[in-house]
Chain A
Amino acid sequence: MTSAVQTATRKALPPPTERYTILGWLQKNLFDGWFNSGLTIVALGLLYALLRPLLNWAVNTARWEVIPANFNLILRGQYTAEQVWRLWLALYLLAFVVGFAWAANTKIIQGELIVLFAVPLLLMLVPFFDGGIRINLLIVEAAGLVGYVVGRVLPQRQSRLGVYALLIYAVVLLFILRGGSGDTGAWAAVPTNLWGGLLLSLLLAVFGIAISFPLGVLLALGRQSKLPAIRMVSVLYIEFIRGVPLISLLFMAQVMLQLFLPDGFPTIDRALRALAAVTLFSAAYTAENVRGGLQSIPRGQYEAADALGLSTFHSMTFIILPQALRAVIPVLVGQFIGLFKDTSLVALVGLFDLLGVARTVLGNPNWLGTHQEVYAFIGLLYWIFSYMMSYTSRRIEARLAVANR
């Protein structure tokens, strides 16, 4: 029997793409009616009024020489100059591990990967870097490539290995930065009060994120738990932390922590106390975001997991959490950006993070009155890292959305 309806075997043509001439595009987007035209003209006027003095300042008036002169301070604070090679070592290893983790996770060469590999090469273009820095950057690039090749050699995709490599790196990193116990020699100790600048900001942010995330997930699960006592403890913690400003926690960690500990307890490192405050603060917010994800999972998923005979632990790790976390990636990344920005508050309790060293630079009599230049540069550094995070999150989101369809 033949079908009464003839099924077409011909492929449907894609819809015609919109094509404009430049003038056509201008008319559609900028001069579409008198209202839009007026808006465009006003916006152009405002831009001109704003950008002209700004550009004039940036090109003619600004004393940008303050940045190269204090570049080391801004990047690493007071970190002992003879031990700087250890920072480079940490960077080589980082490049290696990142390259390896990337290749272990996916064999497809993505745009982000190429951008990542371009970063050291682009940094070599910075005019005031000397030969030593450029050679070091080249080694970083090479280490990254070696790591990537090693990852490619693996027989199949093993994301797990990449994660392990990153975890091991985190421990090794602290060891490299902190050094041994002696005051001299190649492996001399560098106490954390000398860590500063971008180095300290990034360390606080990375370790803050890495520790607060599992803590937050646990708290979110606790808040969703059927057991009333566990739920109560989680809710109390979350609501308390979310109700007070971070600065009060930071002050408390500096002023009061020692009171809570028994007599004769060794003084806890200032940087560590700040990290603890930032982490505990962030965990409560992570918990609320993850809870949003948990609530978006339909009941059927829980019931299906039960029907398969999975234990609570297994249904959480295999069924619920992967879906819940995926649903809240954008929010979580937004919150991690917030954490990175919030690390700037440690400057108020006397640590020398990016903002702290900026104040040091401005306190130097040679650079009086360069507030605008220094803060603009620091702001740019913060902005680059935050924007990178939000950009990556948007890419991940888009990719997951494709996978969902």
Chain B
Amino acid sequence: MQQIAASQARPPFYRDERVLGVISQIVVVGIAVGLLSYFYSNMVSALRNQLGVAINYGFLRSTAGFDIGESLIAYTRSDTYLRALIVGLLNTLQVAILGIFFATLWGTLIGIMRLSTNFLVSRIAAVYIDIFRNIPLLLLLIFWAQAVFFKLPRVQEALILPGPTFLSNRGIAIPWGVPTDSWPTYRLILLVGLILAFVVARLLQEQGKRTGRMPLLTLWFVVTFVVVGVIGWFVLPQPLTLTTPELVGFNTQGGRVFSQQFLALLTGLIVYTASFIAETVRAGIQSVTKGQREAATALGLTGFQTLRLIIFPQALRVIVPPLTSQYLNLTKNSSLAIAVGYPDLFAVAGNTILNQTGRAIEVFSLVMGIYLFFSLTTSLFMNIYNQRIRLIER
């Protein structure tokens, strides 16, 4: 009788999964490393032969010699390239943070409108979402810039909105607080208020866990912070003074002036991203099944309690991950600033500095590295958050 010793018979090596696994890994890594090193060696030799330079970041310390339209920190053309890069980075952060803030508000509003039982309101939101999700952001940005903001009247004929706010081809001037001598102290007080608010919220949470009656943590957090802020405001001799813009000759004076480029970029980003956020919010709220609401009612929770304790926590679990990726998209999309002439990181580095120095490798590695850093840190926090809110089953 023929014996089959299945456990001892090894398949030929070309069918052995372990051998195949090792071989395929070697092949893939070999191809990847080979390609990269091939590109790298080509690049180094091309640089040496054509330009006679090696990769060197030393140029960052030499004088930039170009002006930047707007800057959050002091910058002149005699500053270094590094400082110019930082100016661009801060401009990117400014537009990204403001954009994220307003896009969240606007997008949430549209998303909630979409769920309204009012037919007209829900239709308007749907049309908004369908329009802006389906046209390119770049087109939208250029449209806002060239067809709206660049067509504003001259300063002498500026549109004046209550505030007063001046809309003209010099940008938009709005009233703004100017820090006085006590401002640094006041900032410290605000920081203390923030820490205090955290402590209060934490203590209340502990107490809530002990007694089983959870107070409104967010409310207490905000109240503590605001109280400290208000007390500080009156104790110190006025940390901020308000200046309002006024028309002086051919320009406005006072207040804070936002350039048209900045506003075109910001508006485009908000309008576009809001349509995506709206869909995210809608999907999140709809993902909480009707049964949850009914169960909450059956338990005797009020409408507000149902929202706070049942709907929001579950909807947020669905909303937050796609929302973060929308925030990241907005940040990366702000690199389209180059199309409207706003000096963000990419426009300053990838365009101006590159054109002046010709150091493509150094500039692109820096710019991409910075964007990559934002993206990877965000996904890190996202993963931690996902771990924390994950449904624990079985």
A residues adjacent to B (C-beta < 8 A) = 29-30, 32, 36, 39-40, 43-44, 46-47, 222, 226-230, 233, 239-240, 242-248, 251-252, 255-256, 258-263, 337, 341-342, 344-345, 347-348, 355, 362, 371-372, 375, 378-379, 382-383, 386-387, 390
- The digit string for B122-155, where 1 denotes a CB below 8 A from any CB of A, is 0010000011011111111011001100010000
Residues of A within 8 A of B136 (CB): 341-342, 344-345, 355, 382
Q: Does B116 contact A (CB under 8 A)?
A: yes
Given contacts A29-B118, A341-B135, are A230 and B28 in contact (CB under 8 A)?
yes
- In the complex the two chains form, is A344's CB within 8 Å of B139's CB? yes
Name B94-119 residues within 8 Å CB distance of A: 116-119
Q: Does B156 contact A (CB under 8 A)?
A: no
User: Complex: how many Å from CA A281 to CA B25?
Assistant: 24
> In the complex, which of the residues A29, A242, A245 contacts B117, with contact meaning CB atoms closer than 8 Å?
A29
- The digit string for B247-260, where 1 denotes a CB below 8 A from any CB of A, is 00000000000000
Given contacts A227-B21, A260-B43, are A244 and B147 in contact (CB under 8 A)?
no
Given contacts A229-B28, A378-B139, are A260 and B39 in contact (CB under 8 A)?
yes
Residues of B within 8 A of A226 (CB): 21
Main DSSP-derived SS at the A contact region: helix
A135 to chain B, nearest CB (A): 32
- In the complex the two chains form, is A263's CB within 8 Å of B119's CB? no
- In the complex the two chains form, is B346's CB within 8 Å of A30's CB? no
| 9-residue interface stretch from B200-208, B291-299, B366-374 | B366-374
> In the complex, which of the residues A47, A240, A342, A371 contacts B372, with contact meaning CB atoms closer than 8 Å?
A240
> In the complex, which of the residues B21, B42, B137, B346 contacts A248, with contact meaning CB atoms closer than 8 Å?
B346
A330 to chain B, nearest CB (A): 11
Given contacts A245-B346, A251-B350, A344-B138, are A262 and B42 in contact (CB under 8 A)?
yes
- In the complex the two chains form, is B139's CB within 8 Å of A375's CB? yes
Residues of A within 8 A of B43 (CB): 259-260
User: Complex: how many Å from CA A58 to CA B149?
Assistant: 19
Name B328-381 residues within 8 Å CB distance of A: 332-333, 335-336, 338-339, 346, 350, 354, 360-361, 364, 367-368, 371-372, 374-376, 379
Residues of A within 8 A of B24 (CB): 227, 230
- In the complex the two chains form, is B121's CB within 8 Å of A347's CB? no
A308 to chain B, nearest CB (A): 17
- In the complex the two chains form, is A256's CB within 8 Å of B135's CB? no
Chain A's closest residue to B332 (CB) is A245
Q: Does B8 contact A (CB under 8 A)?
A: no
Given contacts A30-B120, A256-B364, A263-B49, are A371 and B134 in contact (CB under 8 A)?
no
Given contacts A39-B118, A44-B120, A263-B46, are A355 and B364 in contact (CB under 8 A)?
no
> In the complex, which of the residues A239, A247, A251 contacts B336, with contact meaning CB atoms closer than 8 Å?
A247
User: Complex: how many Å from CA A30 to CA B117?
Assistant: 8
- In the complex the two chains form, is B333's CB within 8 Å of A43's CB? no
Name B305-344 residues within 8 Å CB distance of A: 332-333, 335-336, 338-339
- In the complex the two chains form, is B360's CB within 8 Å of A256's CB? yes
- In the complex the two chains form, is A43's CB within 8 Å of B138's CB? no
Residues of A within 8 A of B139 (CB): 344, 355, 375, 378-379, 382
Residues of A within 8 A of B119 (CB): 29-30
14 A-B interface contacts by CB (under 8 A): A230-B25, A233-B29, A239-B379, A246-B332, A255-B364, A256-B360, A345-B136, A348-B336, A355-B136, A371-B147, A371-B151, A372-B143, A375-B146, A379-B140
Residues of A within 8 A of B134 (CB): 337, 341, 382-383, 386-387, 390
Chain B's closest residue to A261 (CB) is B42
- In the complex the two chains form, is B367's CB within 8 Å of A248's CB? yes
Q: Does B47 contact A (CB under 8 A)?
A: yes
B127 to chain A, nearest CB (A): 10
Other than the known A29-B120, A47-B124, A256-B364, what 16 A-B pairs have Cβ atoms closer than 8 Å? Answer: A40-B121, A43-B121, A229-B25, A230-B24, A239-B376, A243-B374, A243-B376, A244-B332, A244-B375, A245-B346, A355-B138, A355-B139, A372-B143, A375-B147, A382-B136, A386-B135
User: Complex: how many Å from CA A229 to CA B31?
Assistant: 12
Residues of B within 8 A of A228 (CB): 25
Given contacts A229-B29, A344-B138, A355-B142, are A248 and B368 in contact (CB under 8 A)?
yes
- In the complex the two chains form, is A382's CB within 8 Å of B135's CB? yes
Q: Does B32 contact A (CB under 8 A)?
A: yes
Residues of A within 8 A of B335 (CB): 245, 247-248
Residues of B within 8 A of A230 (CB): 24-25, 28
Residues of A within 8 A of B45 (CB): 263
User: Complex: how many Å from CA A269 to CA B164?
Assistant: 53
- In the complex the two chains form, is B121's CB within 8 Å of A39's CB? yes
Given contacts A230-B24, A243-B372, A248-B368, are A348 and B339 in contact (CB under 8 A)?
yes
Residues of B within 8 A of A387 (CB): 130, 134
Residues of A within 8 A of B42 (CB): 259-263
User: Complex: how many Å from CA A344 to CA B45?
Assistant: 34
- In the complex the two chains form, is B346's CB within 8 Å of A247's CB? yes
Chain B's closest residue to A384 (CB) is B134
Residues of A within 8 A of B116 (CB): 39
- In the complex the two chains form, is B364's CB within 8 Å of A248's CB? yes
- In the complex the two chains form, is B118's CB within 8 Å of A40's CB? yes
Chain A's closest residue to B40 (CB) is A260
Residues of A within 8 A of B47 (CB): 259
Residues of A within 8 A of B364 (CB): 248, 251-252, 255-256
- In the complex the two chains form, is B28's CB within 8 Å of A256's CB? no
Residues of A within 8 A of B137 (CB): 341
Residues of A within 8 A of B367 (CB): 248
User: Complex: how many Å from CA A386 to CA B129?
Assistant: 13
User: Complex: how many Å from CA A383 to CA B133?
Assistant: 9
User: Complex: how many Å from CA A251 to CA B335?
Assistant: 12
> In the complex, which of the residues A46, A347, A372 contacts B138, with contact meaning CB atoms closer than 8 Å?
A347
Residues of A within 8 A of B29 (CB): 229, 233
> In the complex, which of the residues A30, A245, A251, A390 contacts B118, with contact meaning CB atoms closer than 8 Å?
A30
User: Complex: how many Å from CA A40 to CA B336?
Assistant: 37
Chain B's closest residue to A232 (CB) is B29
A262 to chain B, nearest CB (A): 5
B140 to chain A, nearest CB (A): 8
Name B218-270 residues within 8 Å CB distance of A: none
> In the complex, which of the residues A255, A344, A355 contacts B360, with contact meaning CB atoms closer than 8 Å?
A255
Residues of B within 8 A of A342 (CB): 136
A248 to chain B, nearest CB (A): 6
Residues of A within 8 A of B25 (CB): 227-230
Residues of A within 8 A of B379 (CB): 239
- In the complex the two chains form, is A345's CB within 8 Å of B28's CB? no
User: Complex: how many Å from CA A39 to CA B109?
Assistant: 14
User: Complex: how many Å from CA A230 to CA B31?
Assistant: 11
Residues of A within 8 A of B350 (CB): 247-248, 251
User: Complex: how many Å from CA A345 to CA B333?
Assistant: 11
User: Complex: how many Å from CA A29 to CA B118?
Assistant: 5
Residues of B within 8 A of A344 (CB): 136, 138-139
- In the complex the two chains form, is B118's CB within 8 Å of A383's CB? no
Residues of B within 8 A of A251 (CB): 350, 364
